[in-house]
Amino acid sequence: MASKLMKSNILRSLPARRFAAQAATKSSDYGVLPREPLKTTTLPNGVVVASIENQSPLSRVAIAVRGGSRYETPDNRGATHLLRIVAGLTNAENTAFGLTRELQQLGASLACSADREVLIYSADATRNHMDVVMELLANAATRQVFKPWEITDIKPHLKLDVETTPAEVSLIEDLHLAAFRQSDLGNSVVAPHHLIGQLGPDQLASHLSRTLLAGRTAVCGTGIDHETLVEYAQGLQLPQGEGPAPAARYGGGELRTEIGGGVALVAVAAEGAGRSSATAAQQAVLQAVLGAGAVVKYGAGRGVLGAAAAQAGGAAAALNAVYSDTGLVGYTVAAEADKAGQVIEAVNKAFKTTSLTAEDVNRGKALAKAAVLRADDNSGSCVETMGVQGASLGKVSAVSDALAAIDAVKLSDVQTLHKRLVGGKLSMAARGNLRTVPYLDQL
């Protein structure tokens, strides 16, 4: 009898019930949030609005504009770099001081990032403060005024940024310049050193007036419901217009920068397909097969190229830079100066002559899908991806579409793509101690 009593639910559940009741009094401030998958709307003025309600306690909103460095003119080269740096200075509604203190008070953050195609202003905050923060974001992005004295005061930051550009970044910039020459994609995201002096309010204003237009803007968010975001986007004051069109011309060539040191960094690439092309997914799979970095810290690079490089005593990874109309597919190599020649030979041989098997392609597909899902899992990179797609293509596709596209890739597709790439005209950039690094025509 006693044992039966011990097993009785009532006796055991009483203390448990008390603790549960204690915890239950502190319920969520928001009730139960509905979960929304990716929803997109295109407003009549051309702004693309995309949102995912992922029940996150943090909301993130970004205003992405198709106004990256490729749309700079020869007169305002370096404007996007300076725009990144002056984001958050005095605008039409807030002073720099006021904006900073307001954001700090709310525990929010505001950031600006840019690449060749897209300029993104993003802000995040807890949900209860998000409406104020979105207001501040709109001011910072769309109502910028450039006070000459503030620009002058912040120029040393620009100079520091340019002079401390890491070698790997410079390498990729050189590769784009070699590949696309002086046409739009050859414009670097880093301001040219000799043009820092002439960058000022006029250059920034001219860049924004050409590119900050309704038809080139996307407003994206996570942790926010779609109606709120649409209403917000409708309230943004953006002028109408077409703006500059992409005009990349792939030329091919090489750029060598001898700066000595113990290491040689080399990048080689061929022209690839654009973001909306049918072969974009195949390129992603090819990149994963060839090897895109290590999964294990300090591990040797994986994939075909990584293995070839590790055997020769260096490191290599596949490169896949995708833009709306074109791209670059190839590899980057890092090696000690003495061994660089052998490593590049080995990697190049692997790049050109590797025969891909079904197992390789399956591995590539799994890796590519994991990369897509990983980016989607992180709300910061998720918003960035939506912004880049919305601003550069005018539409945002769901992760499931990307996964389906990767699943549909066949071995023959990847083999055809690979053959076409290695047969095309290559571009090369090299930086560091280049005494053993071969020239492009010697590869």
| Interacting residues toward other proteins by CB under 8 A | 95, 97-98, 101, 147-149
Q: How far apart are the first and last CA of the chain?
A: 88
Strand bridging mode 217-222 / 48-53: parallel
CB neighbour class for 342 (10 Å; exposed up to 12, middle 13-18, buried from 19): middle
In the complex, least distance from residue 200 CB atom to other proteins, rounded to whole angstroms: 12
- Give the nearer residue to other proteins in terms of CB position, either 98 or 107: 98
In the complex, least distance from residue 91 CB atom to other proteins, rounded to whole angstroms: 14
Tokens 């998958």 correspond to what residue? 37
Q: Is residue 312 helix, strand or coil? A: helix
Here the tokens at position 334 are 């890092």
Neighbours of 156 (CB within 10 A): 9
Q: Please report the sign of the dihedral spanned by the C-alpha atoms of residue 366, residue 368, residue 371, residue 372.
A: negative
- Give the nearer residue to other proteins in terms of CB position, either 58 or 106: 106
In the complex, least distance from residue 199 CB atom to other proteins, rounded to whole angstroms: 17
In the complex, least distance from residue 97 CB atom to other proteins, rounded to whole angstroms: 6
- Give the nearer residue to other proteins in terms of CB position, either 96 or 162: 96
Please state the φ and ψ torsions of residue 289, each to the nearest 5 degrees.
-65, -45
Distance CA 342, CA 319 (A): 20
Please state the φ and ψ torsions of residue 425, each to the nearest 5 degrees.
-75, 130
Beta bridge partners of 110: 123
Beta bridge partners of 333: 266, 316
Here the tokens at position 192 are 């040219």
In the complex, least distance from residue 192 CB atom to other proteins, rounded to whole angstroms: 24
In the complex, least distance from residue 363 CB atom to other proteins, rounded to whole angstroms: 56
H-helix or E-strand spanning residue 86: helix 79-86
DSSP state at residue 390: H
- Give the nearer residue to other proteins in terms of CB position, either 39 or 147: 147
- Give the nearer residue to other proteins in terms of CB position, either 148 or 299: 148
In the complex, least distance from residue 386 CB atom to other proteins, rounded to whole angstroms: 35
In the complex, least distance from residue 131 CB atom to other proteins, rounded to whole angstroms: 21
- Give the nearer residue to other proteins in terms of CB position, either 101 or 349: 101
- Give the nearer residue to other proteins in terms of CB position, either 95 or 209: 95
- Give the nearer residue to other proteins in terms of CB position, either 55 or 105: 105
In the complex, least distance from residue 149 CB atom to other proteins, rounded to whole angstroms: 5
- Give the nearer residue to other proteins in terms of CB position, either 100 or 277: 100
Distance CA 169, CA 416 (A): 30
Listing DSSP states for 416-435 in one string gives HHHHHHHHS-EEEEEEE--T
Name residue 379's amino acid: S
Distance CA 438, CA 345 (A): 8
- Give the nearer residue to other proteins in terms of CB position, either 108 or 328: 108
Strand bridging mode 58-65 / 217-222: antiparallel
Name residue 333's amino acid: V
Tokens 């197992």 correspond to what residue? 359
Beta bridge partners of 257: 431
Q: Identify whether the C-beta of residue 107 lies closer than 8 Å to the C-beta of residue 126.
A: yes
Distance CA 317, CA 304 (A): 9
In the complex, least distance from residue 96 CB atom to other proteins, rounded to whole angstroms: 9
Q: Identify whether the C-beta of residue 244 lies closer than 8 Å to the C-beta of residue 210.
A: yes
- Give the nearer residue to other proteins in terms of CB position, either 152 or 378: 152
In the complex, least distance from residue 75 CB atom to other proteins, rounded to whole angstroms: 21
